[in-house]
Structure 1
Amino acid sequence: MSRTDTAELALPPARYEYGGDEFVFVEMDQAMSLEANIKAMTITAALRERGLDGVIDICPSNASYMIRVDPDVLHPAELVKELRALERSATALTSDRVLPTRVVDVPVLYDDPWTRETLMRFRDRHQDPGATDLEYAARINGYAGVPQLIDALSGAPYFVTMLGFVPGLPFCYQMVPRERQIEVPKYVRPRTDTPERAFGFGGAFSVVYPVRGAGGYQLFGIAPAPVLDVAQRLPDFQDGIVFPRAGDIFRYRSIDRNEFDRIRSEVEDGTFRYRIREYEFRPAEFLGDPDAVTSDLLEVLYG
């Protein structure tokens, strides 16, 4: 795609709602998609650049965003006028529209013993009690087996669309055409236990659980490095206790047990650092040729 090309975000008009006197909620689309998230990211990034007095907080989400505003400084109705103008400008993305981001290598031990032990304790809450989560996901997504599914899971990077539902949890959407998206349902009933740093999948979204607790996503593996460091022991957490940022691009790289144990040792002694590369993400180029852009992303990360 040349720098003069554009990509049209063919989405319905956004829905604007007020939340009391201090909040404006904007829904880009009822369906979750990379296009909806990219449009929300583009609008919220432009809003940050404007630095409007009265805007207190900007919170992008999967297919929406929310703004907290000081109504004594900026009336919410005036803010909505600004947001509508930004929506119109974000509908046609030119190739020179850039979202500065980070590309990050996130190692994952797929089919690990800890999540396997956990998921086997809760087979009565699963759609297929006779299979592991990976075996079930491979079958319903048309893969020949678990190794082929893991290749697909780790083969293309993921866009961090939002953070929640607990601090530090990154919701991620894989950067492949929709027909190649991996999708799985949540458990029929949630588990009461999930290991810390478990790599899970629900719908078309992947997550890394920051802490041990309940959960309903299919369990595919575990990350050796944290996404939440309350004590801020590790260098990557010096600016905050949460590592992921909305708009980051993660590559969930498949590792073996030896590398997992080595990284865990680095985490324990406080020396671990994520492999991070700064990147100028051009949404129009990605939407025009996703495979070419993801190939470039991996080259930037590992080249």
Structure 2
Amino acid sequence: MKTRYTFGGDEHIHVEMDEEMSLDAFFKSLSMSNAVRDADIPGVTEICPANASFQVKFDPDVTHPDDMLKRVQELEHMAESAEKRLSTRIIEIPVYYQDPWTHETVMRFRERHQDPSGTDLEYAARINGFDSVEAFIEAHHAQPWFVSMVGFVAGLPFLYQLVERDKQLQVPKYLRPRTDTPKLTVGYGGCFSCIYSVRGAGGYQMFGITPMPIYDPEQKVSHLKDFMVFFRPGDIVKWAPINRAEYDRIIAAVEAGTYAPRIAEVDFDLEEFNADMAGTNAKLMEALNGA
């Protein structure tokens, strides 16, 4: 991978590990952004990690942009030699696929879609070579996902599927963005799944909805009292399909303050994963089942 450094005006340096998303690029970006943070370079005010890149915001009156670039570049060797291992958590996220709320929105914006005659799930299943929507849904939830970035809007996670490259699902965004997306929609664009943390505009394909809140600025939701944003980079997600009755039950539990996400603490080793993806995923899901 060839790292690319660019300036963003006088106050930002953008560091891109690779033009493509991969776990190798993510781990290098994570290690290098941590190295910049640990270096405590004078003038650095913020470090913002992304899928396969990160951005450094700094005060050019404290450290000149050319000097800041040199300091950041000097830390790249630390990322290359860093251990690619994370102590993290695997989380079960319930999903009501083909729910009535996202379906209504899907049908309201068909003129902006590649296939105005069908649904987002029908389109996604067809272009990925599945015989049915049900088979595509199973492929979406069967294996775990890696949270590579949180942002764009507050609390929104980008998730990268933990499978071989040739098995990854890929679905383009809408031809033109919608002006509406239900809160907590499970979406898909490119190689990333996501959860819309708030209601608003969007361009990702809509597959379903989760009853589990992931963002609460008022911190009234029981599992968000410590921090308003639930996800953090490095989290691992296992989608769990649910029906309408289970969706309603979870909504009631959230409102009553009794809902608690199913979570297990795990270690993720990139080298072990690359050597045995199926075995690593099985261990991750075994840990979650034992939680």
Structure 2 length normalisation: TM-score?
0.91
8 Å CA contact 1:93, 1:284 repeated in 2: no
Q: Name the SS of the counterpart of 2:226 in structure 1.
A: coil
Q: Report whether the alignment pairs 1:296 with 2:279.
A: no
Q: 2:180 aligns with which of 193, 200, 214?
A: 193
Q: 2:134 aligns with which of 144, 147, 153?
A: 147
Give the letter for the 2:180 counterpart: D
Partner of 1:102: 89
Partner of 1:242: 229
Q: Report whether the alignment pairs 1:210 with 2:200.
A: no
Q: 1:30 aligns with which of 12, 19, 29?
A: 19
Distance (Å, rounded) in 1 between the aligned partners of 2:39 and 2:267: 21
Partner of 2:79: 90
- Which region of structure 1 is more displaced relative to structure 2, 291-300 or 14-23? 14-23
Give the letter for the 1:266 counterpart: A
CA separation of 1:239 and 1:80: change in aligned 2, threshold 3 A: farther
Q: Name the SS of the counterpart of 1:280 in structure 2.
A: strand
CA separation of 1:151 and 1:93: change in aligned 2, threshold 3 A: farther
Structure 2, unaligned stretches of length 5 or more?
Answer: none
Distance (Å, rounded) in 2 between the aligned partners of 1:84 and 1:126: 42
Distance (Å, rounded) in 2 between the aligned partners of 1:151 and 1:45: 36
Distance (Å, rounded) in 2 between the aligned partners of 1:143 and 1:227: 30
Give the letter for the 2:224 counterpart: F
Give the letter for the 2:197 counterpart: P
Q: 2:171 aligns with which of 184, 194, 211?
A: 184
Partner of 1:3: none
8 Å CA contact 1:158, 1:250 repeated in 2: yes
Q: Measure how far apart 1:149 and its partner are.
A: 0.8
8 Å CA contact 2:222, 2:254 repeated in 1: no
Partner of 1:165: 152
- Which region of structure 1 is more displaced relative to structure 2, 69-78 or 133-142? 69-78
Q: Measure how far apart 1:285 and its partner are.
A: 1.7
Give the letter for the 1:164 counterpart: G
| CA RMSD after TM alignment | 2.0
Structure 1 length normalisation: TM-score?
0.88
Q: Report whether the alignment pairs 1:60 with 2:49.
A: yes
Give the letter for the 2:55 counterpart: M
Distance (Å, rounded) in 2 between the aligned partners of 1:263 and 1:196: 16
Q: 1:42 aligns with which of 23, 28, 31?
A: 31
8 Å CA contact 2:144, 2:236 repeated in 1: yes
Distance (Å, rounded) in 1 between the aligned partners of 2:280 and 2:23: 14
Q: Measure how far apart 1:81 and its partner are.
A: 4.2
Structure 1, unaligned stretches of length 5 or more?
Answer: 1-10
CA separation of 1:134 and 1:31: change in aligned 2, threshold 3 A: same
